[in-house]
Amino acid sequence: MNGFDLRGRHVVVTGASRGIGLAIARACADAGAAVSGLSRAGASEPGIDAIACDVGDAASVERAFAMARERHGTIAMLVNNAGVAASAPLGRTSDELWQQIIATNLTGTFLCSRAVIGEMREHRFGRIVNIASIAGLYGAPYIAAYCASKHGVIGLTRALAAEFAGSGVCIDAICPGYTETDMMQQAVWQIVGHTGASPEEARAQLAAMNPSGRIIDVATVVRGAMEFLTGDRNGEELVLA
Ligand SMILES: NC(=O)c1ccc[n+]([C@@H]2O[C@H](COP(=O)([O-])OP(=O)(O)OC[C@H]3O[C@@H](n4cnc5c(N)ncnc54)[C@H](OP(=O)(O)O)[C@@H]3O)[C@@H](O)[C@H]2O)c1
């Protein structure tokens, strides 16, 4: 146990095959929850029951949530974490890139939230935590699709928090800055490739974009998610940057 108690709860974490999602799924399992971990190609590990799902595909989401429910019962908590990122100037943002990012980050959050809201309302209890980004609150160059998708996630969080206020279902968002995961490593290689900077210089550039001047630890994001899951705050945005 890690100081949080989720015994008796079934938590679904999307994007649970690596990075922030895997760390949140592990923390939920440590806290005693039954955990369904969704990703396109995730492998189960003790305490995390992996289910294949493309969160941007409505039929795939329907199948995955039905399977999660069949295996572990009513879903009490959902962490919408699955996400993809890529950078490109607007003129080189292809239709495919735009659609993939919006489908995964924004439509995925909508589809998964819609999949659980009925049972949460029925039981007058539910927690939905959306992993957005500081790119959901501020603009930045060369990430129009990502930024638009994460602004959408923040708008969706605010709308749902208002819609379900007082129902026992709480919906909140976490807005991390650059965080130590594979996704951030990709951004490092992209800067190296485009500018000829060394990997260390690229990391320093990304760190400098966070208000703290530091890369955020995955553990900090996990703590924020666990506090939302075990508390009763609604409609809040936790900035960890
Ligand atoms: N790292 C950062 O600097 C940072 C900063 C702010 C916000 N965030 C947000 O935090 C979340 C997690 O990011 P991360 O850094 O942990 O990324 P990551 O290491 O790249 O992991 C992304 C996860 O999402 C899953 N995923 C991607 N597309 C999916 C899809 N269509 N359906 C289901 N699962 C999908 C991946 O699994 P599969 O590939 O197996 O599907 C993987 O488990 C994302 O929403 C990201 O935007 C990250």
Distance in Å, CA 2 to ligand 1 centroid: 24
Residue 123 tokens read as 């039981």
Closest CA to 17 of 48, 46, 47: 48
Average pLDDT over residues 1-19: 95
Amino acid at site 166: G
* Degrees, nearest 5: CA angle 51-54-57: 130
Cα separation, 158 vs 234, whole angstroms:
9
Q: Is the pLDDT of residue 81 over 90?
A: yes
pTM above 0.85, yes or no: yes
From the alpha carbon of 182, which atom of ligand 1 is closest?
19
Over 80: is that where the pLDDT of 50 sits?
A: yes
Best residue among 18, 184, 189, 212 to mutate for probing ligand 1, ranked by most atoms within 8 Å of CB: 18
Percent of the chain at pLDDT > 90 equals 98
pLDDT computed for residue 43 by the predictor: 76
Which pLDDT does position 2 carry in this prediction?
81
What is the arithmetic mean of pLDDT over 161-180? Answer: 98
Query: Is the CB of 215 inside a 6 Å radius of any atom of ligand 1?
Result: no
Model confidence at 93, pLDDT cuts 50, 70, 90, reads very high
- Extended strands (E) in 46-168: 48-52, 77-80, 126-131
Residue of the CA atom closest to atom 31 of ligand 1: 54
Contact 170, 101 (CB under 8 A): no
Domains and CATH numbers, the chain: 10-177+216-240 (3.40.50.720), 180-215 (no CATH)
Looking from the CA of residue 55, the nearest atom of ligand 1 is: 32
Span from the CA of 108 to the centroid of ligand 1 (angstroms): 12
Q: Which atom of ligand 1 is nearest to the CA of 80?
A: 45
Give the distance from CA 24 to its chain's centroid.
10
| Mean pLDDT in residue range 81-104 | 97
Pocket test for ligand 1, best of 84, 191, 221 (most atoms within 8 A of CB): 84
Q: pLDDT tens digits for 112-123?
A: 999 999 999 999
Residue whose entry in the numeric block shows the structure tokens 């990997």: 199
Q: Give the residue, by CA position, lying nearest to ligand 1 atom 42.
A: 15
For residue 166, report the distance from its CA to the centre of ligand 1, in Å: 31
Both tokens of 79, joined, read 């962490």
Taking phi over 0 as left and psi of -120 to 50 as alpha, with beta for the rest, 183 belongs to alpha
- Give the three-state DSSP class for 193: helix
Q: How far is the CA of 165 from the centre of ligand 1 (A)?
A: 28
Q: Does 4 have pLDDT greater than 90?
A: yes
Instruction: Please give the number of the atom of ligand 1 that sits closest to the Cα of 57.
Output: 31
pLDDT, tens digit (0-9, with 9 covering 90-100), for 132-167: 999 999 999 999 999 999 999 999 999 999 999 999
- Flag whether pLDDT at 15 surpasses 90: yes
CA-nearest residue for atom 39, ligand 1, is 40
Estimate the crossing angle of helix 144-163 against helix 108-122, to 10 degrees. Answer: 10
Rounded distance from Cα 105 to ligand 1 centre (Å):
9
Beta strands in 53-155 (DSSP E): 77-80, 126-131
CA of 80 to the centre of ligand 1 (A): 10
Question: Residue 95: is its pLDDT beyond 80?
Answer: yes
Helix 218-230 and helix 19-30: axis angle, to 10°?
50
Strand 34-39 versus strand 10-14 pairing type? parallel
**Residue 44: band (very low, low, confident or very high) from pLDDT cuts 50, 70, 90:** confident
Q: Which residues are catalytic?
A: 146
Q: Residue 41 CA: which ligand 1 atom is closest?
A: 40
Mean pLDDT of the chain: 97
